Structure 1
Amino acid sequence: MEKDLKEYITPPIMLIVVLLAISLMFIFPVLNMIILGAILAYGIRPIAFRIQSKLKFSSISILLAMIIVLIPLILLVAYISFIISGFLVGFFSSNPNLDMDSVISQLSTYIPQNPFLDKNSIVPTIQSAGKSVLTYLVGKLGSFANITLDLFILICSVYYFVKDGDNCYNFIKSFVPKEYNDFFERTVESVEDVLKSIFYGHFLTSVIIGIFGAIGYSLLGYPYGIFLGVITGILQLIPIFGPWPIYWALAIMDAIGGNYPRVIVVLLFGFFLSLIDMYIRPAISSHHADIHPLILLIGFLSGPLVYGIVGFIVGPLILGITYAILDSFRKELQESK
């Protein structure tokens, strides 16, 4: 045993371990951007290669592919911001004498009584929470330099992972002993299946549900029907939510306004959205990896706690990839028996 350890614990190995540990200390603050860059590069590579078959210039093809993928995301964020800002401006302009303290006091009457929160402390508590949120947002604006650095690293990571992804794969594979090549290749295939399952089975499902929602809400006569569809698609990404908060909120608003026929219709439409999710998601995901919903749920909920908003993507992917590697190792052990 001691002889085996001496064969592995050599000065070059120790030097490599120390350097890797030091390097990880430098990389860790931006590790989430690097991981996200690798994930996005996986989806952008096919687009870049297709463009490259026409242009024959790899750098230009990669940049065009990144623009094609990022423009819809930028437009989506811009659209959501535009609608929300327009709504707030219209609301406050139509209510110039609005007393926020009075509004908060009225809202507090609808809050269920809590033995730890009496009537005299409800309003100050809400105001304190609002101030905390505003302080957090101001703090985020103050860290503009860090956000810019993260975005720069993300863009660079996407570019170089798309351009040199094969070289990175071959470099890692060169360290794998020959007797473990099959396990390594099977693990890589499992990881690709997980990525495809999450990309197609969840993001594509959210897009489809969002489109159905936008069409349905618009036909039912709701203002901002497209915006409601976009929010429905975003909520669909989070397993614990789905489309139900939107259609239940609309149903409650219609019930308060006395529009009872539309209450029934929007609830039926909402149940339809929830039901088609049960068919669309398995139909798309079944062609790739079969990931247990609990794994994705934990990833979606715990990811933002570790990596911030990026965790909504990184969390389920890391847990899914970990599951794929463990499953591949389990199959390897079963075959060796």
Structure 2
Amino acid sequence: MEIDIKKHLTFPVFLICFLLIISLIFIFPALKMIVLGAILAYLIKPIAFKIQSKLKYSSVSIIIAMITVIIPLIVLVGYISYELYSVVSTIITSGSILDINQFISQCINYLHINVNPNELSQSVTSSFETIISYVMNYSVSIVSKFANLSLDLFILVCSVFYFVRDGDKCLKFIKSFIPDDSINFFDKTIEDIKNVLRSIFYGHFLTAIIIGIFGCIGYSILGYPFGAFLGVLTGILQLIPIFGPWPIYWTLFFIDVISGNYPRAVVVLLFGFFLSGVDMYIRPALSSHYADIHPLILLVGFLAGPLVYGIVGFIAGPLILGITYTVLDSYRKEYLMGDE
């Protein structure tokens, strides 16, 4: 064994390991953008290929495909910002602080809670001011880091472009270092990674889009102000496994009950149960079709990912844990169970 180790620990191997470590140190600050770029490239690549069949220019096709995906995201962010501004403006201009106090008093009387309405109202107002202050400070911090944010976005765009264009070459380059007896395991791992990506996209993001559309239609038909915005919030909450659509429709239910609109309260509750039922049917049906991953693994990934990678963690977290599970399962089936 000692002879084999000395045989493999040659100067070129030491040099390669040294250069890889140095390179990793350099790219580590941008690693999350590169990983996210590779993920988005996998989703954008089919669109680029379809456009390329019409234009015959790969670079132009990739750019058009990226714009096709990015524009809806920009529109969504702009819409959410506009609606939040409209909601805050409505509260300020209509003097809704008094309405909040009245609403709290009605809730206390309805629930028969022995609490001072004024103290509870002050606590709610203080909490609301704290949240607004936190959001404003966070927004200012984002603006102050505009240079870093611009650099991250530039790295992300470049990563997506080159992964779409040269991703196959990169994969072949990596595959050339794989020993012949591990080629099958490598190919199986790549296929598992693709299945995990499909499972996360179709099982979670597509489900959230469907639930959000249903929410926009339903809340608007029921006559709620900012019905479309409530639907968008429902879709966003749908991405978080422990939430889903229930915080929105239960809040609307209690507001209608307190205000005495009992028919609409019953209808919105039934509509909410419908949304939850659709979620319980669509998510497992789409996810299990591509990758059989335990929901707890994806749940931990969705919750822990943002703590490590920020917003990118919503994708990277479940992806990394899902890939780790599938690779371990493939290794167990091919090498451990195969020896039995």
- TM-score, scaled relative to structure 1: 0.90
The question of 1:225 aligning with 2:224 is answered no
Following the alignment from structure 1 to structure 2, what is the Cα–Cα distance between the partners of residues 336 and 69?
46
Letter aligned with residue 11 of structure 1: F
Letter aligned with residue 6 of structure 1: K
1:274 counterpart residue number: 276
Following the alignment from structure 2 to structure 1, what is the Cα–Cα distance between the partners of residues 36 and 63?
17
SS where residue 222 of structure 1 aligns?
Answer: coil
- What is the Cα deviation at residue 128 of structure 1? 6.1
- What is the Cα deviation at residue 168 of structure 1? 0.6
- Which aligned pairs between 1:54-93 and structure 2 lie closer than 5 A? 54-93=54-93
Identity of aligned residues (%): 62
2:290 counterpart residue number: 288
1:322 counterpart residue number: 324
The question of 1:177 aligning with 2:209 is answered no
Letter aligned with residue 197 of structure 2: L
Following the alignment from structure 1 to structure 2, what is the Cα–Cα distance between the partners of residues 93 and 40?
42
Following the alignment from structure 1 to structure 2, what is the Cα–Cα distance between the partners of residues 123 and 258?
22
Following the alignment from structure 2 to structure 1, what is the Cα–Cα distance between the partners of residues 133 and 93?
23
CA RMSD in angstroms, aligned pairs only: 2.5
The question of 1:262 aligning with 2:264 is answered yes
- Which aligned pairs between 1:236-251 and structure 2 lie closer than 5 A? 236-251=238-253
Following the alignment from structure 1 to structure 2, what is the Cα–Cα distance between the partners of residues 52 and 129?
47
The question of 1:9 aligning with 2:12 is answered no
1:46 counterpart residue number: 46
- What is the Cα deviation at residue 32 of structure 1? 0.8
Equivalent position to 1:335, from 326, 335, 338: 338
Aligned CA distance change for structure 1 residues 143 and 225 (closer, same or farther; 3 Å)? same
Equivalent position to 1:146, from 126, 148, 154: 148
- TM-score, scaled relative to structure 2: 0.89
- What is the Cα deviation at residue 136 of structure 1? 3.3
Unaligned 5+ residue runs, structure 1? none
SS where residue 291 of structure 2 aligns?
Answer: coil
- What is the Cα deviation at residue 18 of structure 1? 1.2
1:136 counterpart residue number: 138
Following the alignment from structure 2 to structure 1, what is the Cα–Cα distance between the partners of residues 21 and 271?
54
- What is the Cα deviation at residue 232 of structure 1? 0.7
Following the alignment from structure 1 to structure 2, what is the Cα–Cα distance between the partners of residues 318 and 64?
29
Following the alignment from structure 2 to structure 1, what is the Cα–Cα distance between the partners of residues 125 and 240?
32
Following the alignment from structure 1 to structure 2, what is the Cα–Cα distance between the partners of residues 191 and 123?
46
Q: Which segment is superposed worse, 6-15 or 62-71?
A: 6-15
- What is the Cα deviation at residue 122 of structure 1? 5.9
Query: Cα deviation per residue 1:85-132 (whole Å; 9 max; x = unaligned)?
Result: 122123223339x79xx97xx89x98x99xxxx99x969984666545
SS where residue 290 of structure 2 aligns?
Answer: coil
Q: How many residue pairs align between the two structures?
A: 325
Q: Which segment is superposed worse, 45-54 or 136-145?
A: 136-145
- What is the Cα deviation at residue 228 of structure 1? 1.0
2:311 counterpart residue number: 309
